[in-house]
Structure 1
């Protein structure tokens, strides 16, 4: 019999915490609920730490974003889901850039939350490699000041959206980004676009990368989950 996965929930709103905990516990997860950043840090630093963290952004003693940043340095393989306000695009984009694996916007669907948690745990238990600190300079070079990216020594001719997608993927190699997360981060939460828009831009981006190196395909598709940047060892 498989041992139920233990999850940490950092949330100071009692109503939201009850909803999240109930949805996850009903699916067989064991949920540890804490109210403060320092309590979450203590549990996630322990030897018997939970396998996944669900973090609210605004807490009485700090920010879930700051905790996410610290966890990504100390526990790079820990799956992290952020709980954010639906209209706060800045928190979502910053969270992804700091290393969060996914986010759930409030108010949220409990079924969607459970599905995303299951997907992240499945990937973590399959031994997905921890994201590298940076892309090798010999393959990619991102000049954010000039908003351009060099691939295998050649500067790419990218549209603004293609540049945004590749820059986000480069910041966390090996990490799977859902289409929704990429759409919100690159197009913005209020954009009149769909998941198909992301697929189309990834297709054109891949074509431009193949023009430089036909033998490499660094953008990987994960069916039902999204895209990641996979770099050769």
Structure 2
């Protein structure tokens, strides 16, 4: 089946342009003009991708994203989300990313660029590691690639699709230092147009969900001036 993209914007002309360009590429396009309508349509259609305007007339896009990520059905809460904002300040972009957005674009934008980025994001729905083991086991952490599940101290934790891919990229190579650029290439999977600090925002979210203290990490360590590495201890081993 063709991927479903939900376009959420209160400006009809923007919805019309995106519908035309996305439809020409084979996507099924749904539309919503308000945040409340968007949440209803997410529940109804289970879109693969949501293009979500920040400045909606009822509830803003960041609150819509918070509610979306809190939905009980993983098929809906895990939808990829690209925030769309008319405000160019970096803080506005990162607010959305901090609550689980996968990407952002600022107005005015090129519809062709948006389509290219949507296609690239959806391509990474496949696991990061094609020959991943059945389970990665570390002290206090299990990562299950096939089920796309993460357990911390035996309890399931709710990672978004992108957060799971980011953690998997690190877990695949314990001890290896990845730069932000390398993680963007490996996880985002395309030439990212924004700030590399998008990686920092998502690392912070992953750490919070893993209850991992950045000052004394069990799992993800910051390598200053470079990037990040996974420092979890393999199950059955002791920390050196």
Partner deviation per Cα, 1:61-94 (whole Å, 9 max, x = no partner): 1101111112123244210011111523222111
Structure 1 residue 6, shift from structure 2 partner: 1.4
Structure 2 counterpart of 1:24: 22
Q: Which of these residues, 6, 9, 25, is aligned with residue 8 of structure 1?
A: 6
Structure 1 residues 96, 131: closer, same or farther in 2, change over 3 A? farther
Give the corresponding residue for 2:166. none
Q: CA deviation at 1:41?
A: 0.4
Q: How does 1:36-51 map to 2 (within 5 A)?
A: 36-46=34-44, 48-51=45-48
Number of residue equivalences: 162
* CA contact 1:7–1:54 (8 Å) conserved in 2: yes
1:93 is aligned to 94
**1:192 aligns to what?**
none
Q: Tell me which residue corresponds to 2:193.
A: 180
Match of 1:65 among 56, 62, 65: 62
The 5-angstrom pairing of residues 126-165 of structure 1 reads: 126-127=126-127
Structure 2: distance between partners of 1:133 and 1:99: 19
**Equivalence for 2:171:** none
Deviating more after overlay: 33-42 vs 74-83: 74-83
- Cα 1:84–1:70 shift into 2, 3 Å: same
Q: Which residue is 1:54 aligned to?
A: 51
Corresponding residue SS for 1:62: coil
Q: Aligned-residue CA RMSD in angstroms?
A: 3.8
Q: CA deviation at 1:9?
A: 0.7
- Cα displacement (A) at 1:181: 3.2
Among 187, 205, 216, the alignment partner of 2:226 is 205
Report deviation, 1:35.
Answer: 0.6
Instruction: Check 1:78–1:92 CA distance in 2 against 1; reply closer, same or farther (3 A cut).
Output: same
Asked whether the 8 Å contact 2:124–2:187 carries over to 1, the reply is: no
* 5+ long unaligned stretches in structure 2: 129-144, 153-178, 200-222, 235-240
Q: Taking structure 1 as the reference length, what is the TM-score of the superposition?
A: 0.57
1:69, 1:56 → 2: CA distance? 14
The CA deviation at 1:106 is 0.7
CA contact (8 A) 2:3 2:28 kept: yes
In the superposition, the TM-score normalised over structure 2's length comes to 0.55
- Deviation of the 1:132 alpha carbon: 6.2
Alpha-carbon contact 1:80-1:102 (below 8 Å) kept: yes
